[in-house]
Amino acid sequence: MIYLKMGLAILCLLLVMDLFLLIHRWFPQFPSWALWGLLLLFVLPCITFNTIFPIFYLHLMFCLLITQLICLIFHQDVKGWVFFIPFLLAITICIYGIFNMKNIEKTTYDLQTSKEIPDTKIVMISDLHYPNAMTEKDLNNMVKDLQKEKPSFYILNGDIVDEFTSVDQMKTVFQTLGKLTKTANVYYVFGNHDNQHYANEPAFSKETLKKVIESNGITVLQDDILHFDQITLIGREDSEEKRESLKSLVKTCNLDSYIIVFDHQPKDISLCEKLGVDLQLSGHTHNGQIFPVGSLANSLGIFEHDYGMIKKGNFTQITTSGIHGWGFPTRTEGISEYVSISITSN
């Protein structure tokens, strides 16, 4: 968390410097000290979480740089009226991002296997980060939509809550998600935010969280294995925690069954393929959430798989962008989604 705050502070300073140079060029008679003061006050909201302001300033900075680069290429001065274009663009992007965050889409994957298993439908949600940009009414409407899917089972693939979630909000979200158990079994694996590791003063412990989840009929999997109907489920502890090796877990499984690994972070993908896992389901990446974070992460290879589906022989890996997002009530990159996966024998 401290690194993110430092990043936002650096962003503020860069934006202030750029704005100061531009405005001072247009109005040289304006006192420098007064201009510095006004600009610092202007960017002060940038250091707040769970608000739109940091994202607005990020995109304003990006649009300002692009505008100045275009003017430089065409040998044009940055006129005063041009200055308003980045503002309009940043505001437009943020408004789109708010709508995009709240517009939850359904993404469907149809898989086939040579193994003899009953037709299976999985509904996965990940990275809800309740209550960021979501009211209790929104949450109930989301659960009603998920109930209509009538899957074989649900998987809550981590980061349903985070370091901004209060105890009451944590209880509310799992009481509401617990309604899904009336439709099908619900399984849960921890993400890196659920434990409130990044909070200065955690509102609840991992043990308390687990008790609340299980009290609502949801099965928590922490390096646990379940077998049923020729299907094997392996729910992983988050990779930032001490956990069993994947090899030791798969070793106890019947390789003739269809093996599904739930791992919040898309890790050990090649190892899954090597060990004979059929399907790995992950979240965590948000597909960037905030432009251009996702594009940069993808180009730098930060994640083993940032979004979508990859197939390697008989192995399939799916990473979801998440049903919502973290930290800021907007999504300017990727979509908010839940994932429906149908598996049939060919």
List the CATH number of the domain containing 185.
3.60.21.10
Provide the pLDDT for residue 1.
Answer: 60
What's the average pLDDT block by block, 10 residues per block, for the chain (346 residues)?
73 86 85 91 81 90 89 81 84 95 97 96 98 95 98 98 96 98 98 90 95 98 95 97 96 95 97 97 95 81 93 96 94 96 95
| 65/205 same-domain check | no
Bridge-based pairing state of the strands 336-345 and 120-125: antiparallel
Report yes or no: 237 and 224 within 8 Å, Cβ to Cβ.
no
Domain end, chosen from 45, 79, 100, is at 100
Q: Mutual orientation of helices 206-215 and 167-177 as an angle, nearest 10°?
A: 30
Provide the pLDDT for residue 108.
Answer: 98
| 38/16 same-domain check | yes
251-258 long-range CB contacts below 8 Å, 24 or more apart?
A: 252/225, 253/225, 253/227, 254/227, 256/115, 256/230, 257/115, 257/117, 257/227, 257/230, 257/231, 257/232, 258/113, 258/115, 258/117, 258/120, 258/230, 258/231, 258/232, 258/343
| 52/162 same-domain check | no
| 33/181 same-domain check | no
Whole-number Å distance between alpha carbons of 180 and 139: 12
Domain end, chosen from 83, 100, 117, is at 100
* Burial zone of 254 (CB within 10 Å; 0-12 exposed, 13-18 middle, 19+ buried): exposed
Whole-number Å distance between alpha carbons of 328 and 53: 9
* Burial zone of 195 (CB within 10 Å; 0-12 exposed, 13-18 middle, 19+ buried): buried
Cα 325 to Cα 30, 32, 189, 307: the distances in Å are: 42, 40, 17, 14
Cis amide linkage into residue 131, ω under 30° from 0: yes
| 253/134 same-domain check | yes
Provide the pLDDT for residue 88.
Answer: 93
Q: Tell me the two tokens of residue 117.
A: 């298993």
Residue in the structure block whose two tokens are 């439709």: 183
| 221/335 same-domain check | yes
Whole-number Å distance between alpha carbons of 136 and 142: 10
Whole-number Å distance between alpha carbons of 71 and 285: 35
Provide the pLDDT for residue 131.
Answer: 95
| 96/214 same-domain check | no
Number of domains forming the structure of the chain: 2
| 194/132 same-domain check | yes
Beta bridge partners of 338: 106
| 135/232 same-domain check | yes
Domain end, chosen from 70, 100, 130, is at 100
| 95/111 same-domain check | no
Provide the pLDDT for residue 100.
Answer: 97
| 24/6 same-domain check | yes
Closest by Cα among 252, 174, 250, 183 to 214: 174
Provide the pLDDT for residue 296.
Answer: 82
Q: What's the domain range around 60?
A: 2-100
Cα 53 to Cα 16, 101, 325: the distances in Å are: 15, 15, 16
| 116/77 same-domain check | no
Bridge-based pairing state of the strands 219-220 and 308-312: unpaired
Provide the pLDDT for residue 219.
Answer: 98
